[in-house]
Amino acid sequence: MKRIVVISGLSGAGKSTALGFFEDVGYFSMDNIPPLILGNLVELILQSKVEKAAMVVDVRSEALGDPVEEIKRMKKCRRDVIKLIFIEASKDEIVKRYALTRRKHPLGLNIEDAVEKEKELLRDLRSEADIIIDTTGLNPHEFRERLALYVEKISKEKLPFTFRLRSFGYKYGIPIDSDFVFDTRFFPNPFYIPHLSSKSGKDKEVKEFFQQYPEMKEYAMKIADLLLKAKEGYMREGRMGISAAIGCSGGRHRSVYITEEVGKILKEKGEEVVIEHRDIDRA
């Protein structure tokens, strides 16, 4: 059955964090949807192959339609499909968050006045919510845990934990969104072997070269063991995935090979794994 989650609520309360969570657990995610196109977008999703979608609709969209009335109308028409999550926080908490980020409130007023005005604008929408989450005092992990419990409730299924493995080249920079970073530059480099230089860690010839070094397989196993151990703690914190980056000098040979090996080990243990080779085709 199709599931569409509409995320709304107060600015600064955590809508972006919520959208990021839904993206992490496999929802097609969209931010700041204009209310005028909400109905057409919902119908498009219902006719497409997309099974799960999440979108943020908030007060920023007011110039392109009334978000409150449009969401209420869509929920009435598609109550079996659309679920509304309303996210809020105390005025003091929101003021503190804006002070830390130094961002401007979308209503453009004094922040305290803006929060009060936004509460009033969204009062009717709040009453339509399937769930209200107050993020005051919650850290991001606790917030995600609340969302995970809700998703499991509406889907009646346990969310999969996903390992996202990414190979990269240090000369192009370390991926900044990684939970773990592992270095492979201390292993022999096929780049300096003429017939292997243009190939990658996915090619048979490079794999055969690395298989001469059993310590590479051992290293991959230790990375996998560490990630599996970390999974226990991440799940206790309500997080549904780990992002690990594995690097070598150029991101073409050693890091690619080790990333593939770690992924194979995790898959053999029944884990959900997504692999990306960021720099494999760069010169």
What's the pLDDT score for residue 190? 95
HEC profile of 50-108:
CCEEEEECCHHHHHHCCHHHHHHHHHHHCCCCEEEEEEECCHHHHHHHHHHHCCCCCCC
Q: Which of 155, 181, 197 is the last residue of a domain?
A: 155
Three-class SS state of 136: coil
Among 120, 155, 190, residue at a domain's last position: 155
Per-residue confidence band for 157, with pLDDT thresholds at 50, 70 and 90: low
- Interatomic CA distance for residues 90 and 72, integer angstroms: 24
Q: Are residues 124 and 166 in the same domain?
A: no
Same domain for 34 and 131, yes or no, is yes
Tell me whether residue 283 is in a domain: no
Residue 66 lies in a domain: yes
Res 100 pLDDT > 90: no
Residue 184 predicted with pLDDT over 80? yes
74 in a structural domain: yes
Residue 262 belongs to some domain of the structure: yes
Report residue 146's pLDDT band, with 50, 70 and 90 as the boundaries: confident
Q: Is the domain of 206 the same as that of 150?
A: no
Lowest mean pLDDT among 124-138, 204-218, 259-273: 124-138
Pick from 72, 85, 13: nearest CA to 38: 72
Asked if 1 and 50 count as a contact pair (C-beta separation under 8 A), the reply is no
Poorest-pLDDT segment among 33-47, 64-78, 116-130, 195-209:
64-78
Does residue 43 sit in the same domain as residue 115?
yes
pLDDT in tens, 221-274: 999 999 999 999 888 766 778 999 999 999 999 999 999 999 999 999 999 898
Average pLDDT, the chain: 89
Taking only the tens place, the pLDDT of each residue in 3-59 is 999 999 999 999 999 998 898 888 999 998 888 888 889 889 989 999 999 999 876
> Which of 99, 134, 155 is the C-terminal boundary of a domain?
155
Q: Averaged over 113-138, what is the pLDDT? A: 89
Which pLDDT value is given to residue 188? 96
Examine the pLDDT at 159 and tell me if it is beyond 90.
no
Q: Count other C-beta atoms under 10 Å from residue 51's C-beta.
A: 13
Q: Show the domain range for 240.
A: 162-277
Q: How confident is the model at residue 283 (pLDDT cuts 50, 70, 90)?
A: low
Quick one: pLDDT at residue 19?
A: 93
> Is the same domain home to 172 and 90?
no
142 and 208 together in one domain: no
Q: What is the pLDDT of residue 238?
A: 65
Q: Tokens at residue 229, please? A: 């151990």
282: in domain: no
Instruction: Tell me, yes or no, whether 124 and 15 share the same domain.
Output: yes
pLDDT reported for residue 246: 98
What is the pTM assigned to this prediction? 0.59
> Do 233 and 109 have their domain in common?
no
- Specify whether 179 is located in the same domain as 143: no
Q: Is the pLDDT of residue 275 over 70?
A: yes
How far is Cα 147 from Cα 129, in angstroms, rounded to an integer?
14
Residue 260 lies in a domain: yes
The answer on 171 and 75 residing in a single domain is: no
Write the pLDDT tens digit of every residue in 57-78.
876 656 667 877 888 888 887 7
Does residue 258 fall inside a structural domain?
A: yes
Do 94 and 220 lie in one domain? The reply is: no
pLDDT of residue 81 exceeding 80: yes
Q: Is 39 among the domain residues?
A: yes
Domains of the chain: total? 2
**In CATH, what number is assigned to the domain containing residue 41?**
3.40.50.300
Classify the C-alpha dihedral 16-18-24-25 as positive or negative. Answer: negative
CA atoms within 13 A on the CB side of 45: 25
Mean pLDDT for 95-123 is: 84
Assess whether 85 and 70 both reside in one domain: yes
Surface-to-core class of residue 89, CB atoms within 10 Å of its CB (0-12 exposed, 13-18 middle, 19+ buried):
buried
